Amino acid sequence: MNWENVVLAMLPEHLLLVGIVLLIVLELVSDRPRGALWLAILAVAAATAAAAFLATSGYASAPFAGHFSVDPATLTAKALLLALVLPTLLLSRDDFSETRFHILLLSSVYGVCLLLSADSFLTMFLGLEIMSLPVYVLVLLAFQRPEGPEAALKYLVLSSAATATFLMGVSFLYGGTGTLALTAFSQALGSPNTMAQAAVVLVVVAFFLKAAIVPFHAWAPDAYEGASVPVTAYMATVVKAGVLLAALRLFGTTPVGRPMADLLTLLPLISMVWGNLAAIRQTSFRRMIAYSSIAHAGYLFFAFLGAGPGRFQAVVFYILAYALMNLLAFASLPRGSDDAASDRLDSLKGLYQRRPFAALMLGLAMLSLAGIPPLPGFIAKFLIFKNVIAAGYTVYAVLGLIGSYLGIYFYLRVIQYAFMSADAVSQPSNERTLALSASVLCLVPAVLVALFPGWFIGLL
């Protein structure tokens, strides 16, 4: 084992760990710790910078061969996900002042980083669990209304079921091949062996559960609604991205054969349709976003129909566009003392009169999520469906596009409330500087990505 490699390859993780330890110390020495938020931001920013630096210098190594490896593409994805944590942290100031929030969040981020570099099922399992366990507590920590604990418990139980399914699949694979390396999965993809196929299906189902694909989605609306804004934002963006990128690591660049391709399309397709239709009926913003994220998980799994490097590009691009716009939306939301009331879609009425900038940002985010050009969401959607058509699945692409069409209505309804309805309740308007900086932090990269998508794809 080369120690230099261990230090350098895991530098982002190490920096996060340092941040976590310092936060724990801070919690111990002071009753009302100040600066916990800034310490957390500093740790994440340092980790982002480290990952970005390693990525640009073309660093690649495998400090724990067969278990953990990094290469420029992985590091780029890691840097992106870490960067997405920054606006989430900025958003959290209004809800959480306790240090434990930051400790838990950073721990979960640590799990995401591990997940992105996993080479074996062992590391992947560790990553998934380290990522998920703090989130159950985070959902509970947000406890502001009676449904909070119920949501957390639901999430815990269903997520554990996913873990069990995942382990079952992995043990099948191990039984068949005698190895825990991720490559066993891509080999099993094309294998006619029943056991290998069962293993593949079990692992895929576990990922569907974690990513909230219909019919394994039921936990998401409750968890999203029950948690508070920053936690929901974190679940909808970073956790979802982590799960998808882990799945990407599993599938690699191997083309998906026909029976698997149908499984990979059918359930995501149902997710799109169901997620988009169910979102129409919602009166809670976060619940609506939960259904929207169910639909978006569907689009993301569509990207797996394409093969080669295009798959990685499409997924990462989509995740970036989707996550930035979700965070932008969350940063623009009006926030009041009563969480349940300010979460209602009605509370958005007349937002433009009260806070024009926030309303414009919210509108932008909704249109982008709906995939309307020239916003980044459109380019991301285009990239996915371009790959699907290039892989020869034209019919699936058409169905998928029609599924995405169904989503337009409920996004427009948000804009309708924010711009076209008279002010229902005249709340005092206060521009919150931190949320504002979070919007800018999302807006600038989103604009750049929309204007120069070619440059960004070249990075991947």
Partner 1 sequence: MAELLNFVVWLPVAGMLAIALIPASQENTVRQLTLWLMIVQFVATAVLYVNFDSSVAGLQFETRVPWIESWGVSYHIGLDGINILLVMLTAFLGPLVVAGAFSAITKEVKLFYAMVFFIQFAMMGTFVAQDLFLFYVFWETMLIPMFLIIGIWGGERRIYATLKFFLYTAFGSILMLAALIYLVWSLQNATGQLSFAFADLYKVRLPVQAQTLLLGAFALSFAIKVPMFPLHTWLPDAHVEAPTAGSVILAGVLLKMGTYGFMKLGFPLFPDATQLYTPLIMALAVISIVVGACLALVQTDIKKVIAYSSISHLGYVMLGLVSLDILGIQGAVIQMVSHGLTAAGLFFLVGMIYERCHTRDIAAYGGLAKIMPVYSVFFAIMTLAAVGLPTTSGFTGEFLVLLGAFNAAWPLHVAGSSFSLVMAVTAVSGVVLGAMYMLWLAQRMLFGAVKAPHLPLADINLREKSIMAILVVAVFWLGLFPQEAMRKTEIAARQYQQMVVGAPAPQRTAEGATPAVAAPVAATLGSTR
| Residues binding partner 1 (CB under 8 A) | 352, 356, 367, 372-374, 378, 382, 385-386, 389-390, 394, 397-398, 401-402, 404-405, 408-409, 412, 415-416, 419-420, 453-454, 457-458
Shortest Å, Cβ 34 to partner 1: 37
Residue whose C-alpha is closest to residue 134's, from 23, 217, 9: 23
What stretch of H or E contains 453?
helix 453-459
Shortest Å, Cβ 389 to partner 1: 5
Residue whose C-alpha is closest to residue 221's, from 153, 155, 277, 169: 155
What stretch of H or E contains 63?
strand 61-64
Which backbone phi and psi does 131 adopt, to 5 degrees?
-70, -45
Shortest Å, Cβ 91 to partner 1: 25
Looking at beta carbons only, is 226 or 403 nearer to partner 1?
403
Looking at beta carbons only, is 59 or 409 nearer to partner 1?
409
Cβ atoms of 273 and 403 within 8 Å: the answer is: yes
**Got the DSSP string for 175-237?**
HHHS--BTHHHHHHHT---HHHHHHHHHHHHHHHHHHT-TTS-THHHHHHHHS-HHHHHHIII
User: What's the CA gap between 319 and 325, in Å, rounded?
Assistant: 10
Looking at beta carbons only, is 310 or 445 nearer to partner 1?
310
User: What's the CA gap between 374 and 321, in Å, rounded?
Assistant: 12
Looking at beta carbons only, is 10 or 273 nearer to partner 1?
273
Shortest Å, Cβ 308 to partner 1: 13
10 Å CB burial of residue 426 (0-12, 13-18, 19+) is exposed
User: What's the CA gap between 342 and 340, in Å, rounded?
Assistant: 6
Listed in sequence order, the residues at least 6 apart from 269 whose beta carbon sits closer than 8 Å to its beta carbon are: 298, 302, 396, 399, 400, 403
Shortest Å, Cβ 405 to partner 1: 5
Looking at beta carbons only, is 230 or 310 nearer to partner 1?
310
Shortest Å, Cβ 255 to partner 1: 17
Shortest Å, Cβ 419 to partner 1: 6
Dihedral sign, CA of 244, 245, 247, 251? positive
3-state secondary structure of 32: coil
- For 387, the token pair is 């790959």
Buried b vs exposed e over 436-458: b needs ≥16 C-beta within 10 Å?
A: bebbbbbbebbeebbeebeebbe
Shortest Å, Cβ 240 to partner 1: 24
What stretch of H or E contains 70?
strand 68-70
Shortest Å, Cβ 293 to partner 1: 21
Looking at beta carbons only, is 154 or 355 nearer to partner 1?
355
Looking at beta carbons only, is 161 or 399 nearer to partner 1?
399
User: What's the CA gap between 99 and 82, in Å, rounded?
Assistant: 19
Residue whose C-alpha is closest to residue 81's, from 297, 248, 320, 289: 320
Shortest Å, Cβ 374 to partner 1: 5
Shortest Å, Cβ 429 to partner 1: 14
Cβ atoms of 366 and 411 within 8 Å: the answer is: yes
Shortest Å, Cβ 318 to partner 1: 15
User: What's the CA gap between 101 and 39, in Å, rounded?
Assistant: 12
User: What's the CA gap between 374 and 17, in Å, rounded?
Assistant: 39
Looking at beta carbons only, is 212 or 321 nearer to partner 1?
321
Looking at beta carbons only, is 96 or 411 nearer to partner 1?
411
Looking at beta carbons only, is 229 or 379 nearer to partner 1?
379
